[in-house]
């Protein structure tokens, strides 16, 4: 399927160093972006679907890098069916597993945690609930895992390893496990802050400095934050990615974001939700944190969007997160909410308002055109201008 999006007001690229693209159109060919900005009229006319953005803002599909996947589109933590499809209506087109720790009766022995990670990875390999891409399968680091285990998992397609819920005596017990997982090529992540559920323990700056995972999960607290003094040490003394989450401590999220910008570490600042957890299911969590950083933290709205898209893509080695030729065709159209006080999406976000969503396209397929069921209506009217596809693409 070829999809053209025309009459775009602003294109946010996902790259914070060059956050805007010139032009007013996008061309999607299958699951890739063929052109971004200037698109030949002949190519637009040949598209199977032409979407009129009516001056709304195009952004990459949001990447939530901290979602507690189990199996299927179901969370036993909140006993909710369809949460991933609902997150897509919040502009999220990629969800990355924060480990399958919420699976009831989850195994804790080496063979069991390996099997759990591999099963999750395989279950979501070709399954897109509501159009959502799910990067699943994160092996939970438990004592007894050996370098050969991590090499085996990596060879079979598992990409992630998670510290924070294993039966170690204290957090320093993860140091050799993180090192072995990194050596095998896995992206290593670590619970940060106070304990969150039975079986987890506190992880503070001193532990992160010893472990050196690729990503400090919910560095602002999940939900309890580590000491303030630890933030500058982690930023200045390591290259650990700094994931701030909606379900964490808002004050320390703002603190971390300010430090990351001031100390030249914005590349490492990631936005995620850390849901579903005890904080609940948050389909608009990514949009809330973007608005919090822009309105309360003084961050440029386009920068906050890049922290939720391109920065996540770079750290987790994804081809999505950017609106550029060759990138995955994941696009969201956002706007000022109807009845709001601002004229466009970016000024609304700066004002602290949640952007309204007018369309979500993932893997090159329109999932809905018109309005999200989870946000206010857009001030402008996004519509299908022409279509050779027998489908109206309305939200259901």
**pLDDT tens string 118-173:** 999 999 999 999 999 999 999 999 999 999 999 999 999 999 999 999 999 899 99
Q: Is the pLDDT of residue 298 over 70?
A: yes
* Per-residue confidence band for 392, with pLDDT thresholds at 50, 70 and 90: confident
- Find out whether 324 and 38 touch, Cβ atoms under 8 Å: no
Question: Is residue 392 in some structural domain?
Answer: no
42 with 125, same domain: the answer is: no
CATH of the domain at 345: 2.30.40.10
The token pair that represents 334 in the structure block: 């956002």
Question: Is residue 255 in some structural domain?
Answer: yes
Q: Is the pLDDT of residue 360 over 80?
A: yes
47 with 69, same domain: the answer is: no
39 with 107, same domain: the answer is: no
HSE (side-chain half, CA atoms, 13 Å) at 214: 19
Per-residue pLDDT tens over the stretch 259-280: 999 999 999 999 999 999 999 9
- Find out whether 354 and 93 touch, Cβ atoms under 8 Å: no
Quote the number of domains for the chain.
Answer: 2
Given this model, what pLDDT does residue 200 score?
Answer: 64
Query: What end-to-end distance do the CA atoms of the chain give, in Å?
Result: 21
Question: Is residue 254 in some structural domain?
Answer: yes
DSSP classification of residue 26: E
Q: Is the pLDDT of residue 354 over 80?
A: yes
Question: Is residue 394 in some structural domain?
Answer: no
Question: Is residue 241 in some structural domain?
Answer: yes
User: What is the domain extent for residue 116?
Assistant: 62-283
C-alpha distance from residue 153 to each of 120, 130, 139, 156, 215 (Å): 12, 28, 9, 5, 19
274 with 154, same domain: the answer is: yes
Quickly list DSSP for 70-112: -SSSEETTTTEESHHHHHHTTTEEEEEES-STTSTT---SHHH
128 with 189, same domain: the answer is: yes
Q: Mean of the pLDDT values across residues 282-307?
A: 98
257 with 370, same domain: the answer is: no
Q: Is the pLDDT of residue 198 over 70?
A: no
DSSP classification of residue 223: S
Which distant-in-sequence residues (6+ apart) come within 8 Å of 286 by Cβ? Answer: 62, 64, 90, 91, 92, 246, 271, 272, 273, 308
Last residue of a domain, which of 257, 283, 309?
283
CATH of the domain at 242: 3.20.20.140
Question: Is residue 296 in some structural domain?
Answer: no
79 with 212, same domain: the answer is: yes
Given this model, what pLDDT does residue 168 score?
Answer: 92
Q: Mean of the pLDDT values across residues 93-111?
A: 96
The token pair that represents 61 in the structure block: 């599909």
Q: Is the pLDDT of residue 36 over 80?
A: yes
Last residue of a domain, which of 228, 257, 283?
283
132 with 181, same domain: the answer is: yes
Which distant-in-sequence residues (6+ apart) come within 8 Å of 350 by Cβ? Answer: 294, 295, 301, 342
108 with 48, same domain: the answer is: no
* Per-residue confidence band for 366, with pLDDT thresholds at 50, 70 and 90: very high
Residue 91: strand pairing partners: none
Question: Is residue 276 in some structural domain?
Answer: yes
Given this model, what pLDDT does residue 381 score?
Answer: 97
110 with 43, same domain: the answer is: no
Last residue of a domain, which of 253, 283, 313?
283
43 with 68, same domain: the answer is: no
Percentage of the chain surpassing pLDDT 70? 98
Question: Is residue 344 in some structural domain?
Answer: yes
Greatest alpha-carbon pair distance for the chain in Å reads: 65
pTM beyond 0.95: the answer is: yes
176 with 223, same domain: the answer is: yes
Given this model, what pLDDT does residue 194 score?
Answer: 86
């Amino acid at each position: 399927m070829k999809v053209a999006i025309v009459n775009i007001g602003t294109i946010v690229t996902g790259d914070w160093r060059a956050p805007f693209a010139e032009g007013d159109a996008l061309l999607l060919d299958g699951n890739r972006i063929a052109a971004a900005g200037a698109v030949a009229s002949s190519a637009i006319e040949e598209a199977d679907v032409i979407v009129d953005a009516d001056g709304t803002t195009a952004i990459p599909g949001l990447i939530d890098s901290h979602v507690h996947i189990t199996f299927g589109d179901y969370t036993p933590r909140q006993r909710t069916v369809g949460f991933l499809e609902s997150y897509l209506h919040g502009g999220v087109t990629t969800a990355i597993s924060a480990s399958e720790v919420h699976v009831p009766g989850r195994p804790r022995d080496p063979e069991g945690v390996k099997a759990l990670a591999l099963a999750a990875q395989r279950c979501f390999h070709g399954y897109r609930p509501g159009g959502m891409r799910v990067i699943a399968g994160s092996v939970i680091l438990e004592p007894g895992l050996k370098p050969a285990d991590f090499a085996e998992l990596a060879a079979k397609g598992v990409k992630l390893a998670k510290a924070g819920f294993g039966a170690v005596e204290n957090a320093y017990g993860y140091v050799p496990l993180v090192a072995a997982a990194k050596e095998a090529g896995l992206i290593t992540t670590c619970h940060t802050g106070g304990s969150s559920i039975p079986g987890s323990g506190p992880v503070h700056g001193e532990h992160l400095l010893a472990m050196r995972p690729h990503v400090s999960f919910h560095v602002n607290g999940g939900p309890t934050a580590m000491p303030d003094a630890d933030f500058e040490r982690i930023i200045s003394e390591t290259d650990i990615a700094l994931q701030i989450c909606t379900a964490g401590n808002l004050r320390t999220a703002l603190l971390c974001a300010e430090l990351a910008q001031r100390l030249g570490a914005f590349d490492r600042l990631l936005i995620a939700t850390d849901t579903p957890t005890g904080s609940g299911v948050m389909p608009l969590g990514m949009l809330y944190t973007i608005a919090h950083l822009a309105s309360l933290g003084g961050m440029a709205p386009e920068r906050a969007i890049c922290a939720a898209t391109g920065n996540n893509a770079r750290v987790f080695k994804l081809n999505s997160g950017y609106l550029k030729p060759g990138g995955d065709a994941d696009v969201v159209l956002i706007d000022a909410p109807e009845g709001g006080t601002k004229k466009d999406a970016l000024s609304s976000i700066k004002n602290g308002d949640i952007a309204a969503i007018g369309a979500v396209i993932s893997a090159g397929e329109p999932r809905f055109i018109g309005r999200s069921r989870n946000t206010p209506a857009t001030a402008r009217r996004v519509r299908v201008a022409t279509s050779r596809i027998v489908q109206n693409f309305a939200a259901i």
